[in-house]
């Protein structure tokens, strides 16, 4: 991953983060404050308690806290006044909750995306990056399907921008190690409870593996790379879930409990059907828009940092199983999971 030390892109800028009290948002704010001198950082989310708790940790003069729901366009419009950059991280993201409450997930993840786009255009925001997930590639669950719809909205938004300067891109990555609801805290709970096994849904399951800091760094860099319309995908390692269990609890046997509704055996980040639009760069892929923009850049083999990519081979798929880079048990161990929990 490229790090951003030494550049000044976010100095004296106003940055709004929807879902800023979440795992990603807090790490993003911490990193911005460590590396830059932003004019203002606006946290936009619903729950006052999470904001109150975040204020205890981040109370610098540049911090602003807005209670608001991305379903509420007027509130977003107000919050985005004078904003230069937006990171759209707010989402409902628990797969089972989305299956049971589909309209709630649609309202937040799809209608919310539309509202973010409209508010950004109305306020002439310079750049917007929306966070996506591997579950949005060839989705089989509603969460993934809503994130795919959201991705499509952000890509197409570059075409409705007209004379407006706002550019929109998407960053897609896989499971964030130790994020809320992910497998690591679940295994950890079993270990702490002194259970006699680790539950695994399927012994062949693989997942992509990225740390929160790597995700944050990738988003920061893509603000510099983006032309508008790209889906940025980082090159990251895969893990076998059985290896993760062995790394976390070497002495405990695993128990196979069966694949859950909406769960895939392997995740995809760049589907093979999009190979004709996919470019490979040194440390990432770019899925270029399937549509042509009428008054925007349509060439995605060179980015705004002048990095060169090349088209992937016909049929190429970036998949957690076929990924050439797998972590060994020792490498997972070296990741120091305990420090991240
Ligand atoms: N974690 C992962 O493994 C992973 C992997 C790939 C992609 N992503 C994507 O990364 C993004 C951030 O994930 P995360 O792990 O930081 O999630 P998180 O910890 O669950 O945080 C979600 C944030 O969104 C806010 N939010 C939820 N509904 C909202 C609404 N209607 N209006 C305004 N704010 C709302 C939440 O605060 P309130 O509840 O207070 O509103 C919270 O601040 C999501 O878009 C997710 O799809 C995550």
- The CB of 25 under 6 Å from ligand 1? The reply is yes
User: Is position 59 within any domain?
Assistant: yes
- Round to whole Å and give the CA distance between 91 and 79: 18
Q: What total of structural domains would you count in the chain?
A: 1
- Round to whole Å and give the CA distance between 172 and 130: 9
User: Is position 260 within any domain?
Assistant: no
- The string of pLDDT tens digits covering residues 156-196 is 999 986 678 999 999 999 989 888 778 898 898 999 999 99
Residue-number span of the structural domain to which 160 is assigned: 14-174+210-236+272-315
| Ligand 1 geometric centre to CA of 62 (Å) | 22
- Round to whole Å and give the CA distance between 144 and 271: 14
Cα-Cα-Cα-Cα dihedral of 139, 141, 146, 150, to 10°?
Answer: -30
Tell me, what CATH number does 53's domain have?
A: 3.40.50.720
Q: Is the pLDDT of residue 319 over 90?
A: yes
Tokens at 116, concatenated: 């973010």
Mean pLDDT of the chain: 94
Angle, CA 131 vertex, CA 127 and CA 133 arms, to 5° = 150
The region, left, alpha or beta by phi > 0 then psi within -120 to 50, assigned to residue 199 is beta
Q: 33 - beta bridge partners?
A: none
**164-178 exposure pattern, b = at least 16 Cβ within 10 A, e = fewer:** eebbbbbbbbbbbbb
Q: Which helix (H) or strand (E) holds 238?
A: strand 238-240
Strands 318-319 and 310-311: unpaired
Angle, CA 272 vertex, CA 271 and CA 274 arms, to 5° = 75
- The CB of 47 under 6 Å from ligand 1? The reply is yes
Which pLDDT does position 2 carry in this prediction?
42
3 state DSSP class of 159: helix
3 state DSSP class of 308: strand
Average pLDDT over every residue of 68-72: 98
- The CB of 91 under 6 Å from ligand 1? The reply is yes
Chain centre to alpha carbon of residue 62: 24
Annotated active-site residue in 73, 135, 147, 152: 135
User: Is position 333 within any domain?
Assistant: no
- The CB of 109 under 6 Å from ligand 1? The reply is no
User: Is position 183 within any domain?
Assistant: no
User: Is position 337 within any domain?
Assistant: no
- The CB of 180 under 6 Å from ligand 1? The reply is yes
- The string of pLDDT tens digits covering residues 129-138 is 999 999 999 9
Q: Which atom of ligand 1 is nearest to 51's Cα?
A: 40
Quick check: is 135 catalytic?
yes
3 state DSSP class of 100: helix
Which pLDDT does position 3 carry in this prediction?
45
- Round to whole Å and give the CA distance between 46 and 68: 5
- Round to whole Å and give the CA distance between 136 and 270: 10
- Round to whole Å and give the CA distance between 198 and 256: 9
User: Is position 243 within any domain?
Assistant: no
Q: Which atom of ligand 1 is nearest to 21's Cα?
A: 43
DSSP 210: B
Best probe residue, ligand 1, of 90, 145, 239 (max atoms within 8 Å of C-beta):
90
- The string of pLDDT tens digits covering residues 27-57 is 999 999 999 999 999 999 999 999 999 999 9
Q: Which atom of ligand 1 is nearest to 112's Cα?
A: 31
Strands 206-208 and 238-240: antiparallel
User: Is position 179 within any domain?
Assistant: no
User: Is position 205 within any domain?
Assistant: no
- The string of pLDDT tens digits covering residues 250-296 is 999 999 999 988 899 999 999 999 999 999 999 999 999 999 998 88
């Amino acid at each position: 991953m490229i790090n951003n030390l030494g550049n000044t892109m976010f100095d004296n800028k106003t940055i709004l983060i929807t879902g800023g009290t979440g795992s990603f948002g807090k790490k993003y704010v911490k990193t911005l404050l460590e590396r830059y001198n932003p004019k203002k950082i606006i946290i936009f989310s619903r729950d006052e308690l999470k904001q109150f708790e975040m204020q205890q940790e981040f109370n610098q003069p540049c911090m602003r806290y807005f209670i608001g729901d991305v379903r509420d366009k007027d509130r977003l419009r107000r919050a985005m006044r004078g904003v230069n950059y937006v990171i759209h991280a707010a989402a409902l993201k628990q797969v089972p909750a989305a299956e049971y409450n589909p309209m709630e997930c649609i309202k937040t993840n799809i209608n919310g995306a539309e509202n973010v786009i409209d508010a950004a255009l109305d306020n002439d925001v310079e750049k917007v990056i929306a966070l996506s997930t591997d579950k949005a590639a060839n989705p089989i669950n509603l969460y993934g399907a809503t994130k795919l719809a959201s991705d499509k909205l952000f890509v197409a938004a570059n075409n409705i921008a007209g004379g407006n300067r706002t550019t929109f891109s998407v960053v897609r990555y896989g499971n964030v190690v130790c994020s809320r609801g992910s497998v690591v805290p679940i295994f950890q709970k079993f270990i702490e409870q002194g259970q006699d096994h680790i539950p695994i849904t399927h012994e062949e399951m693989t997942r992509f593996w990225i740390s929160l800091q790597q995700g944050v760094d990738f988003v920061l860099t893509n603000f510099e790379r983006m032309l508008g319309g790209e889906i940025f995908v980082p090159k990251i390692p895969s893990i076998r879930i059985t290896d993760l269990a062995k790394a976390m609890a070497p002495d405990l046997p695993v128990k196979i409990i069966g694949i859950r509704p909406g769960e895939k055996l392997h995740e995809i980040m760049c589907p093979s059907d999009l190979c004709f639009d996919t470019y490979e760069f040194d440390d990432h892929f770019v899925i270029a828009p399937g549509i042509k923009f009428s008054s925007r850049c349509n060439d995605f083999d060179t980015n705004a940092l002048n990095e060169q990519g090349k088209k992937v081979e016909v049929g190429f798929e970036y998949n957690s199983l076929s990924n050439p880079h797998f972590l060994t048990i020792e490498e997972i161990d070296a990741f120091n999971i305990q420090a991240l929990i």
